[in-house]
Amino acid sequence: MLKTGNYGYQITKNPSVRLTHLFYVDDLKLYATNRDQLHSLLELVSCFSEDIKMKFGISKCAYVNVIKGKIIESEGIDLRRGQHIAGLELGAKYKYLGVQQSAIIDHTEMKKAVESSFLQRVTKILKTELYSGAKVTAINSWAIPTISHTFGILKWRKTNLESIDRKVRVLLTKFRSHHPQDSTAKLYLPRANGGRGLQNLVVQHHQPTTNLRDYFLRTDQPLHRALIQVDDGYSQLKLADKNPPPIPVTISQFEEEWKAKPLHGRYAANLNGGEVDKKLSTSYLSDGQLMFETEGFINAIQGQVIPTRNRRKFILKEDLPSDKCRLCQTTTESIQHLTAGCTYLAPRDYLNRHNQVAGVIHQELCVQMGLLTAKVPYYKYQPQTVLENESWKILWDLAITTDRTVSHNRPDILVFDKKQRKAQVIDIQIPADENVGKSRMEKVLKYQELADEIKRMYQLEKVEIYPIIISCNGLVDKYLPRNLKAISIRNPKQIVAISQKAVILATCRTVRRILATDGRVGL
């Protein structure tokens, strides 16, 4: 009814190209050439609304009189049913679909308001006690839409969006969730790819504006065609420019940037190498069940930006007398050394970390085999040296006496299947990231002689060796799911998740304790 009338604002010299209204759900904006036309349009809408039992929200309505691009103050406009729509005061603005405007949109002022609202929401989210995955989801789904709904409307430059992204990273650092020297690109990668899953505003801006631009260019509506002709940089879409806007940056470019870094890229290379199960190695990120600070800390460890003595002396150029490890005093103090190579930490920190993973496997086997009736949290579990019933016998960290001397006779777990007359040697290793494949082969070779002796002594049908390998930074050996199934673990993914979390928490705890000796804690 609005379109078929002769009313509306004429866009071009062609009288058929008129703009009568903008309508979205229950927000309606009417355009008219003069006051009389607008009064007629309002009466039409008022009558129609009354017929369908809807009413004007008069307090939210405003009348704007624009002459030669300037707002002229007006007393408003009266309707026949006694309703009065007030005129917009000089300097005042009204909100349409979340955007403050008057005769035109003040892009600078509106961008400042949107940015402020966005950062306030990010801050509120970071102050919560949500787990890491929930915080990222909240930022992406609750904070970012305060900006993204203006894409294609406000004139956002790439530098504007990069500045806001930078402020978000500053907030993450303030809340100890991101090391300022850690990989920026990694923040914006999907969690399944090893990133943090945060949406990048520059990336998010490109697609909706491109889609909106394509919609206008495809349409054959006279009004839209007229707008295309006159929009030579007037709007964000630049419809008169036939060349599509360049793609600023893509997720794949972020991934390549991360991999190309000499330090940050080492973890990326190991994650994407052939020795690990990438999906399981990133499951702690996909599940998002770590505290956000802990997730940020393990990412800083993976990125090798923790202030070890080696980094402080050779990268940060601090005046240190030595880069030797403060604990063992024998090797340069790198993050790899602290997490998996220090002889001082081996008897306590590394052993406790190793035993927690071994305890997860041991408890699960004992429950499944009827040797235990209930589970306790892995960090409270104390394995018994020997557990046995009619079908099974499980030994924990027990030296096996053999007829012939064997170099390595103390596996973490030894399982005897009495009915099928076979045994399984299970041994756990928490190596450095780059040693996952090497550790797997070493474990098999290490216990082969013991397996042969057990088979001969107990006259068994078969003795198999199953290494359980998870790196100190949570990388999962590609054969680990298969090995867990082979030892009859019914829920291998859950066991991997628990074991991986135990390793990551233990690694973070160890590094934090060491940094505390220099008064450096967290990020």
The residue segments making up the domain with residue 214 are 107-265
Higher confidence at residue 419 or residue 12? 419
Instruction: Tell me which DSSP letter residue 412 carries.
Output: S
Domain co-membership, 197 together with 208:
yes
> Are 59 and 147 in the same domain?
no
pLDDT at 474 over 70: yes
Report pLDDT for 408. 94
Tell me the pLDDT tens digit for each residue of 258-283: 999 998 899 999 999 999 999 999 99
In a domain, 197, yes or no: yes
Per-residue pLDDT, averaged over 219-247, amounts to 85
DSSP string for 333-349: --HHHHHHT-TTTIIII
- Same structural domain, 399 and 418: yes
pLDDT score, position 16:
76
Of 502, 513, 134, 507, the closest CA to residue 291 belongs to 134
3-state secondary structure of 480: helix
Is 410 in the same domain as 441?
yes
Rounded to 5 degrees, what angle do the CA atoms 385, 390, 391 make?
Answer: 85
Query: What is the model's pLDDT at position 330?
Result: 92
Residue 93 covered by a domain: yes
Cα 403 vs. chain centroid, distance in angstroms? 55
Same domain (yes/no): 362, 378: yes
What secondary structure does DSSP assign to 311-378, as a single string? HHHHTS----S--B-TTTSSSB--HHHHHHT-TTTIIIIIHHHHHHHHHHHHHHHHHHTTS-S----G
**Would you say residue 3 lies in a domain?**
no
Domain boundary among 265, 292, 316: 265
In a shared domain, residues 301 and 158? no
1 lies in some domain: no
Residue 262: is it exposed, middle or buried by C-beta count within 10 angstroms (0-12/13-18/19+)? exposed
* 312 falls within a domain: yes
Say if residues 11 and 227 touch (Cβ distance below 8 Å): yes
Tell me if the pTM is above 0.75. yes
Last residue of a domain, one of 241, 265, 289: 265
By DSSP bridging, strand 99-101 and strand 94-96 are: antiparallel
Instruction: Enumerate long-range contacts of 307-313, CB under 8 Å, 24 or more apart.
Output: 307/515, 307/518, 307/520, 308/333, 308/334, 308/335, 308/337, 308/338, 309/333, 310/334, 311/335
Of 159-163, 234-238, 260-264, 289-293, the least confident: 234-238
Condensed to tens digits (0 to 9), the pLDDT of residues 8-30 reads: 888 777 777 888 899 988 889 99
Residues 124 and 260 in one domain: yes
Residue 184 DSSP class: H
- Judged against a pLDDT cut of 80, whether residue 205 lies above it is answered with yes
Tell me the pLDDT tens digit for each residue of 493-504: 999 999 999 999
Q: What is the pLDDT of residue 70?
A: 82
Mean of the pLDDT values across residues 348-361? 97
User: Cα angle vertex 393, ends 390, 397, to 5°?
Assistant: 165
Q: What is the pLDDT of residue 420?
A: 95
Helix (H, G, I), strand (E, B), or coil: what is residue 466? strand
Same domain, residue pair 290 and 256: no
Give the three-state DSSP class for 234: coil
The answer on pLDDT for 305 being more than 80 is: yes
Residue 262's closest CA among 304, 318, 313?
A: 304
Residue 65 near residue 86, CB atoms below 8 Å: no
Q: Is the pLDDT of residue 221 over 90?
A: no
By DSSP bridging, strand 77-78 and strand 84-85 are antiparallel
Pairing of strands 386-388, 99-101: unpaired
The verdict on residue 393 lying in a domain is: yes
- pLDDT tens digits for range 323-354: 999 999 999 999 999 999 999 999 999 999 99
* Same domain assignment for residues 360 and 401: yes
* pLDDT attached to residue 363: 97
- pLDDT bin (cut points 50, 70, 90) of residue 521 is low
- Strand ranges (DSSP E) for 367-421? 386-388, 392-396, 413-417
Q: Is the pLDDT of residue 136 over 90?
A: yes
Decide which of 101, 131, 155 is a domain's last residue.
Answer: 101
Q: Residue 505 is encoded by which pair of tokens?
A: 């928490």
Q: Report yes or no on 329 lying in a domain.
A: yes
Residues 275 and 369 in one domain: no
Q: Are residues 81 and 66 part of one domain?
A: yes
Total number of domains constituting the chain: 4
In a domain, residue 222? The reply is yes
pLDDT at 81 > cutoff 90: no
**174, 203: one domain:** yes
